[in-house]
Every structure is written in structure tokens, then in C-alpha cells.
A and B are shown apart, each in its own frame.
Chain A
Amino acid sequence: MKNKSFFRFSARICGVALAAMLMSACATPPTDPEARKSFDEANDPLEPTNRTVFEFNMAFDKYLLKPVAEGYRWSLPDDTRAVIRRVLANLRAPVTFGNDVLQGNMGRAMETLMRMTVNTIMGMGGMFDVAGQYGLQRHEEDFGQTLAVWGFDEGPYIMLPIFGPSNIRDAIGLGVDAVADPLGWFIGTPELFARAAVGGIDRRSEVIEPLDELERTSVDFYATIRSLYRQRRNDEINNGAPGMNLPAPSISYDFPDDEKIAEPPPPRNPAPAPAAETPAAPAPSLVAKPAS
């Protein structure tokens, strides 16, 4: 298998990250009940280490990724970048197909398979989204989502070097997808790296202004990214079904009209029901966690 060394490299990255985490001190859970509650909700016992990695990622972004992404966006016309994006998306289709099947979603698996076939042949290697014009919309699945569908808990939040926000479940998924990607049967490690690099640059180039704005307007950018990551993943796991990821702030405060505030619609994942009598609104647990 040509992608063996790619796997070995990924494994090494994971190993280094894991070692760094184990060596560094975990955050000590606070004793104050309120602080303890938010500590548990953040699900980020490795926060001190994660913040260090985040700093590193921010520096990596500032000095390398963002300038390259800006150059990429500046030098290539929109249409060209759209073609690159579609080719990359088409190359990703086998992984999505595999995960559709593993999640038992045969309808979506068929969609992915048809898209891949039509776009590879009629869309000239995925350069054009012919299937999309016939109403077959693209979706993505990964093994982290598959694990979630199988009932795995997300595990603690982890900030991976370069790869960015993740958690134990999604980091495992990332590794499994990389190893199992059938593309590795056909192309070598340098090409896999090139694909990963172009994909990363392309995705970064799409969010230059939004990320700048998000950073500028956040008080704690790290915590904001953590929140967005979790909500976004939950949306992806539920395949974007409306109302499945609802914030469930039962916005029940010490207000006179407390009784009038409705319970949030039940999320798909059995989140702990927010207690109506809690004075402060309970945080929505976006992914089901075992009762502690």
C-alpha cells in the first residue's frame, strides 16, 4: 500500500500530540460549583495544553497558511478555484461513500456513488458538478461522524497541531479516514500530501474575512472556536436535520415570566433535560454524554 508512509507520518503526528498532552498538566477541576459546572460543560480537561497548541496554530496560520491562502485567492480566478474545489471534493467521495454505508444510510450512499460516477465520467474527473445540476447535492461524511452514529461519545476536546479543533472521537476518525482512503491505492504519499495541502489552502482561502471578523469580535477566540466546532460537528452528525441541534437555552432566568418559557424541542441525542427550576439556564449538552 502506497499510503503506508503517509499513515506512518500521521501516526507519528498523533503520537507527538498525545505525548505532549500526557506530559503537560491537565487543568485542575475547580471546586466552586458554578465554575465546576462550566468546566464540565466545556469538556476540555486538556485546556492548558490545547491553548498552547492553539497559539501555535495561530502563529502557523499568521505566518504561513493565511499568506499562502491569500496568494492563492489573489492569483487564481474564482472559476479556477471552483474547479480545484470540485476535483478535491470528488476525490473525497469514496471516503464519504464508505461512511454513508457504515452509517447504514443506503440512500445517501447511492447519492454519493452516483455523484462520483457521473462527475468523474461526465464531469471530467470531477472538474464539473454535473450530478449537482440534476439535483444530486453533495454531502460529506467522515469516520468521526460514523463513530458518533454508532454511539461513541466525543471524548475530551483536543486542539490538534495544524489540523485544528477536534476531539478524541474525531481525531480517531481523521486517522481512520486517512488510512482507509481508497485513493491511497492509486497515488503515492507525496500526492496525498499535495492533496491535503491544496485542500487546506483552498478551505482557508474561503474564510479569510469571516475568520478575521470572528477573531476581532470574540472576547475569547479559543472558546468561541471550541463552541463552534462542537455545534458544527453535531449538525454534521445529524446531517443538518433542522431542530436536531437546537441550542436548548431554555432561557429560564430569574424573570417574572419564567413560567411562560417553553421547554426546548427535544434534541435527537438524549441530552439531559434542562431543569426548569434551575435559576440559570442549563447549558445544552450538544452531544450526549454519559451521566457523570
Chain B
Amino acid sequence: MIRRAFLSGLFAVSLLAMAPAVSAGPLEDESRIFVKGLADRAIAVLKADAPKAQRDKVFEDILREGFDIKAIAIFCVGGYWNKMTEQERQGYLSLFEKLIVQTYSSRMASVYNGQNLEIGAARPDGKAGSWVTSQIVSGNPADQSLRIDWRVRQVDGKGLKIIDVVVTNISMVVTQRDDFVGILQRNNGNIPEFIGMLRDKVAKLQAP
């Protein structure tokens, strides 16, 4: 079970080859183009097999420009956000961004093997959002393709932002949330300790 789930995660931000698809409206079309643009950049750096520092930088840029990182970060600590002091929130947000960059930069580099991402159709998700579907396809027809759904929404004044990446029905955001809440649950909601653990994890992952 872990395999598909995981491989999926690895490709969460990935590569695209545009495929003709049916779309519902202007927001959906815009979202498809938006996702493709971000994925193209991730693919390019993975294809180039760039050094870690450079790859991390590209992933950081993609994350900052393309994702509603603050909304995702808040979701990922569940109700514990309300218990964080302003200072803890700032510390957490900064570590969260670093953790996500490191996690996906390293996961994807470890499994990327020339696959491409084909953007499929998009469908509305409420008034201000859409789901963009896509498939990871490898050159080998024997491999099964992986479905990736991107949840995109319109954020006031900032344009389109991704708020979740769902790989074969496994949500990266929910998985991250369950990871964090698992820790917070276990240490009785000790937020300083949790932030300390994040700091250690980020330091470990950032090491070349």
C-alpha cells in the first residue's frame, strides 16, 4: 500500500506535457495553465539533475509563488494554531516552508526518472477554486500512470494558489497534518518542543 501512496507523494509537484482536455470555464483553464507552468519548472530542474542547493532554490520559488503556504501551514497543525503565540506562529511558518521545500525537493529527486506530467481536465471546486487533474506517465507503457489532482483557489490580491496536491486520492496536506498533529497529540500539545523538533528536522534535511 505504501508504495503507490508514496511514489505519488514524491511526484506531487511535477512535470507536464500538455494534453488536450475539456474544461469548464475561464477559471478552470487558467488553473490548468497555472499548474502546468509550475510543474514545468520543477521538471526542468529535475531533468537537469541540478545540484541540491540549486534544486532547493527552484522548489522554494515554486512553493512561494504557487502555493498558499500560510493556509496550508495553518491547516497542518489543526486546532493547535489557535494555541500558538504570535512568536511561535512566525517561527512555525518559517520552519514549515523550509520543511516542505526540503521534503519535496529530496523526495522527487530521489524518484524522478524521466517521467512526464500530462494535465487533464479541470472541474470547479466551489466559486473560487478548481480541481486540476493530471497523470504522471513514464516512457514505459507497462508502468501504470499515477493520478494527481491539484486543488487550486483564487486568493484575493495574490492570484491563483495551490492548496493541496492529491496523489491517487492521498492528500499531501492531510498526510502532513496527521504527521504534525500526531506529534502534538503525543507530547500533550507542547508547542515549543514541536517547533524544536521541526528545527532539528529541517537542519538535518538541509545538510548537503
Chain A residues packing against B (C-beta within 8 Å): 30, 32, 34-35, 37-39, 41-42, 47, 137, 165, 203, 206-207, 209-211, 213-214, 216-220, 222-229, 231-236, 238, 240, 242-247, 249, 251, 253-257, 260-265, 279-281, 283-284
**Given A225-B2, A249-B173, 17 extra CB contacts under 8 A:** A35-B185, A38-B184, A207-B3, A213-B111, A216-B106, A219-B197, A219-B201, A226-B178, A232-B170, A244-B169, A246-B166, A246-B169, A249-B163, A249-B177, A260-B153, A261-B153, A265-B125
Contact for B149 among A209, A225, A227, A242, CB less than 8 A: A242
Query: Is there an interface contact between A242 and B180, defined as CB atoms closer than 8 Å?
Result: no
Known contacts: A247-B166, A279-B82, A280-B79. The answer to whether A262 contacts B107 by CB under 8 A is no
Chain B residues packing against A (C-beta within 8 Å): 1-7, 9-10, 68, 71-72, 74-75, 78-83, 99, 102-103, 106-107, 110-111, 125-129, 131, 133, 144, 147, 149, 153-156, 163-164, 166, 168-171, 173-175, 177-186, 188-189, 197-198, 201, 204-205
Contact for B185 among A38, A246, A257, A280, CB less than 8 A: A38
Q: In the complex, which residue of chain A has the Cβ closest to the Cβ of B4?
A: A232
Contact for A214 among B6, B126, B147, CB less than 8 A: B6
Report the separation of the CA atoms of residues A229 and B72 in the bound assembly, to the nearest whole angstrom: 21
Contact for B163 among A227, A233, A251, A263, CB less than 8 A: A251
Query: Is there an interface contact between B185 and A207, defined as CB atoms closer than 8 Å?
Result: no
Query: Is there an interface contact between B5 and A231, defined as CB atoms closer than 8 Å?
Result: yes
List, sorted by A's number, 10 A–B pairs whose CB atoms are closer than 8 Å.
Answer: A30-B185, A34-B82, A214-B107, A219-B179, A227-B175, A228-B5, A249-B174, A255-B71, A262-B129, A281-B78
Shortest beta-carbon distance from B101 to chain A in Å: 11
Q: In the complex, which residue of chain B has the Cβ closest to the Cβ of A35?
A: B189
Report the separation of the CA atoms of residues A207 and B6 in the bound assembly, to the nearest whole angstrom: 8
The 8 closest A-B pairs by CB, nearest first: A262-B126, A223-B182, A247-B171, A227-B178, A245-B169, A235-B169, A210-B6, A34-B79
Report the separation of the CA atoms of residues A254 and B166 in the bound assembly, to the nearest whole angstrom: 24
Report the separation of the CA atoms of residues A222 and B149 in the bound assembly, to the nearest whole angstrom: 25
Contact for B168 among A37, A220, A240, A260, CB less than 8 A: A240
Query: Is there an interface contact between A283 and B71, defined as CB atoms closer than 8 Å?
Result: no
Chain B residues with Cβ below 8 Å from A42 are: 178, 181-182, 185
